[in-house]
Amino acid sequence: MHDADSDKVRDSQYLVLCPECRVHLNAFVEAVREVMQLSQLQMDALLANEADPHRFDLLIHDASERKQNAKYAYLVHLDSHRGASQR
């Protein structure tokens, strides 16, 4: 019984990732990581009273844009899975 229940949860909550999904997901994860790292660097600069902590803003903006693009590419690819059965 317990096994059947956990199978049900797995089916409903987790996506089956094809190789291309993984590529997109990894790119998305890396982009999120980049935004986090730049934000951390900015935080460090602020806490250290660095002269120009704003130099990070443009970098964070660019990284955020890459994150959005990576997310969009991933979602478009996921949609292609849903559409596959309709074609």
Stretch that binds Zn ion, among 2-10, 19-27, 39-47, 53-61 (CB under 5 A): 19-27
58 near Zn ion, judged by CB under 5 A: no
6 vs 80, which CB is nearer to Zn ion? 80
Q: Using the rule CB under 5 A, is 20 a contact of Zn ion?
A: yes
Q: Is 79 in the site for Zn ion (CB under 5 A)?
A: no
65 lines the binding site for Zn ion (CB under 5 A): no
Q: How far apart (Å, rounded) are the C-alpha atoms in residues 15 and 78?
A: 9
